[in-house]
Structures are given as C-alpha cells and as structure tokens.
C-alpha cells in the first residue's frame, strides 16, 4: 500500500482557486487542511472529494471521471462524487467530501460533509436473515454493503 500526499505546489482548496481553472470534466489536485483532495466540475456542479482510493491508496486524479463518478486507475473501484460512497468494489469505504462554494470568481472548499447514509429500506422488504457463503472478497463486499445499507448481519456462531 502506498500513501500519496499533496505537493506543497498544489493549491490549498480552502483558500480557493479561480473558477477558470476548474474546467468542466477536469480535476484540480490540491489539499484541504493538509489532506489530499480533488476539486471536480461535472455538469456545472462542483465536488470536492478525497484524492486517494480507499482500497489501496491509488491517486484518483489519474483515474477516470464518468458522469458523477470517479474510478480508481489501479483496481477500478468506483466512487460517487455526490455521496463519496463506493459504487463498485474493490473499495469498501467511501471518500471524504467537502462542501464547495462559488465566491468572487473562486471555487472555495469549505467544511467536511458528514457521511452519507443510503435510504433505509422498509422492514417489510427485508428478509429475516441473510447467509453469505464464502469468506473471499465477494463475501466481504456483500457483508460490507449490507452493513452500510443498515441491514443487520448476524454471525451464525
């Protein structure tokens, strides 16, 4: 696993960057409070998210933007720019997100946003129990997804 840090030459996104530097479909690398971050403009909306993949620390700036998602260049984990949640494995944890404002011709990254919780399913739609067979990556991803979506997962032991 590698750890990528922001260069001192990269902008402090909390201080703001000129809006003309934030092009549609482009990525601006920087930092917020010393943490590597990315500023992205998609469909005219600004998003600020953590700059490293939560799976293995890959630099997401080298990844692919597709709609409101960013994909890891190493193992193709996919994250929502809007919620920070992982959409496709192998990542199981979400990205940090920050609120972004447009001020005086600048894109300014503000406070960190709280974790996004998926909508709660109606209890009538949930099975009484779920058995996951297999302890590999797919079984782990299934258990993590069920936990994240507020389903209780019980061990048979």
Higher pLDDT, 152 or 108: 108
Looking at residue 120, its pLDDT comes to: 61
CA distance 77 to 4: 17
CA distance 151 to 65: 30
What are 92-148's pLDDT values in tens digits? 899 999 999 999 999 999 999 998 765 565 666 667 778 888 878 778 777 777 776
Looking at residue 54, its pLDDT comes to: 95
Work out the number of other CB atoms within 10 angstroms of the CB of residue 49.
24
Q: What is the DSSP letter of 126?
A: S
- What lies within 8 Å, CB to CB, of 146 at 6+ separation is 130, 153
In which element (H, E) is residue 146 found?
helix 137-148
> Distances in Å between the alpha carbon of 59 and those of 42, 55, 98, 156?
19, 11, 18, 39
Residue 153 has pLDDT above 60, yes or no: no
Average pLDDT, the chain: 86
Looking at residue 60, its pLDDT comes to: 98
Q: What is the DSSP letter of 90?
A: T
CA distance 76 to 1: 16
Helices and strands: H and E segment counts in the chain: 1, 10
Higher pLDDT, 143 or 72: 72
CA distance 50 to 76: 16
What are 10-25's pLDDT values in tens digits? 999 999 999 999 999 9
Query: What global pTM score does this model have?
Result: 0.76
Work out the number of other CB atoms within 10 angstroms of the CB of residue 3.
7
Residue 151 has pLDDT above 80, yes or no: no
Domains in the chain, start-ordered, CATH in brackets? 17-112 (2.102.10.10), 117-157 (no CATH)
């Amino acid at each position: 696993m590698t750890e990528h840090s922001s260069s001192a030459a990269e902008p402090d996104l909390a201080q703001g960057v000129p809006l003309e530097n934030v092009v549609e479909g482009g990525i601006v690398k920087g930092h917020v409070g010393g943490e590597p971050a990315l500023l992205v403009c998609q469909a005219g909306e600004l998003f600020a998210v953590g700059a490293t993949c939560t799976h293995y620390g890959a630099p997401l700036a080298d990844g692919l933007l597709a709609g409101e998602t960013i994909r890891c260049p190493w193992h193709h984990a996919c994250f929502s720019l809007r919620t920070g949640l992982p959409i496709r494995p192998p990542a199981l944890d979400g990205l940090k997100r920050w609120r972004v404002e447009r001020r005086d011709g600048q894109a300014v990254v503000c406070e960190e946003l709280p974790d996004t919780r998926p909508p709660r399913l109606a209890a009538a739609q949930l099975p009484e129990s779920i058995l996951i067979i297999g302890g590999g990556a797919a079984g782990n991803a299934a258990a993590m997804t069920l936990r994240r979506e507020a389903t209780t997962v019980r061990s048979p032991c």
